[in-house]
Amino acid sequence: MAEKTIGVLIGGSGLIGGTIVNYYKTMHAETVDIRAPSSKKLSIRQESDIRSYLLEVKPDFVINASMANLASDGQLAFEVNFLGPLNLARAAAALKIPYIHISSAATLPQGTELNEEDTIPISPELSNYAKSKLMAEKTLHLMAREHELDYSCVRLGIVYGAHDHKIQGFHRLLFSIADQSMPVLFTRKNTLHSYSNARKLPYFINHMIENREEFSSITCHFVDRNPVDLANLILTIKSYLQLSSPREIYVPYLIANMGKKGLIFLLRFLRKFGLKADLPPELMFLNSFYKSQTLSAKRLQESSFIDPMPEETIFTRLPDLIAYYLTRWSHQNLITTYNESLDFDGSVRDDFKHNPAKLLKSVHKRSVAPFPEMISVKNDTDKTPDGHSAL
């Protein structure tokens, strides 16, 4: 039996990392031994941990899917999002193995059809998250040029998928609607964003590892082909949940930003009385709710990678994601508005209106055969009292 390839993944407890680990354990269990060490075994903040663990395991590739929380302070963001990836890259370069780095659209400006080279300049005004992610990308590019690092950078849009233990990004949006804490639309019409399917990502990463000549030393956007209108997504979720809010009223950015500043002031005031609360970290990106950012998928589409689920999008995944997260959040007593009798009739109405071919295909797949119980009844009625056919 051939010896297994060994892979090390950092950040296995998150949505992206957990999905990648599950993929290798289910799809490549016979050929790949994927290791996802806990922070007790390998802290990405400790250079000594990285060096000793990788020297001991001697992996054939390394994947970094770790990230500091969006609201982390400068030191934590710097250590987790920059120094950690840097030291992983140094170790990978020394071992001469591929290094796959997961990055973010936070390194790009606002705009549409942004390509992989359209990064923002490093400046003090950037958020800690964006600044540290951008620094990591630039350093990996430098190491590939000067130290023969064999790396690939995968830049994601807004990620969606099941089994996320944190409520952030798309899942924060879903939570806000389900919890009925979004009375109106905090966006403007035709605000478009790119979304990344967590379930498809491991297939792409494995393809990159197996095709190093094509993917070495490049950054690639891994996003769905078509961008998503934020207001349309919100209203679609509302329809699935059969809620009356948010109402289709668009709040201007100026008013939304004033409300955010007022809330920040209130929270600071309450801290004087020992009451501590924080804003959802996504509010630091409030302006993104009002400005489009779409990533070009041209490089991905022109590569040798074949999408394993080409028809799957955020809209086709919504029923499953809503059912999963609402069940999870209701069991955790995070929301009390979940109606377990929801049947998602809205999805059928929407598919009939916007995607009849998909609806037809799903019906055909489910069953178009004759009802078996009616066949047996028909056979019985066709017989005479003595048991013979009436014909």
**Domains of the chain and CATH, by start:** 1-157+194-225+303-310 (3.40.50.720), 167-193+228-291+324-337 (no CATH), 343-383 (no CATH)
What mean pLDDT comes out for the span 311-331? 89
User: Phi/psi at 250 (nearest 5 deg)?
Assistant: -90, 120
What mean pLDDT comes out for the span 266-294? 68
State the pLDDT at residue 281: 54
State the pLDDT at residue 360: 57
pLDDT band at 184 (very low <50, low <70, confident <90, very high): confident
Report whether pLDDT(362) > 80: no
User: Phi/psi at 326 (nearest 5 deg)?
Assistant: -65, -40
User: Which of 184, 177, 186, 183 lies closest to 335, judged by CA?
Assistant: 177
pLDDT tens for 30-72 read 999 999 998 888 899 999 999 999 999 999 999 999 988 877 7
Of 140-144, 279-283, 364-368, minimum mean pLDDT range: 364-368
Report whether pLDDT(165) > 60: yes
Report whether pLDDT(384) > 50: yes
pLDDT band at 372 (very low <50, low <70, confident <90, very high): low
Of 89-103, 198-212, 355-369, minimum mean pLDDT range: 355-369
pLDDT band at 389 (very low <50, low <70, confident <90, very high): low
Residue 213 is which amino acid? E
Report whether pLDDT(341) > 60: no
Which pTM value belongs to this model?
0.81
State the pLDDT at residue 391: 43
State the pLDDT at residue 180: 82
pLDDT band at 214 (very low <50, low <70, confident <90, very high): very high
Q: From CA 150, how far away is CA 145, in angstroms rounded?
A: 10
Give the chain's mean pLDDT.
83
pLDDT band at 127 (very low <50, low <70, confident <90, very high): confident
Report whether pLDDT(174) > 80: yes
**8 vs 363: which has the higher pLDDT:** 8
**Percent of the chain beyond pLDDT 70?**
77
pLDDT band at 354 (very low <50, low <70, confident <90, very high): low
**Percent of the chain beyond pLDDT 90?**
50
Burial class (CB in 10 A: 0-12, 13-18, 19+), 187: buried
User: Phi/psi at 247 (nearest 5 deg)?
Assistant: -80, 155
Q: From CA 341, how far away is CA 168, in angstroms rounded?
A: 26
Of 107-116, 153-162, 335-344, minimum mean pLDDT range: 335-344
- What contacts 24+ positions apart, CB below 8 Å, involve 308-312? 308/200, 308/203, 309/197, 309/199, 309/200, 311/358, 312/197, 312/199, 312/200
Q: From CA 211, how far away is CA 324, in angstroms rounded?
A: 35
State the pLDDT at residue 367: 46
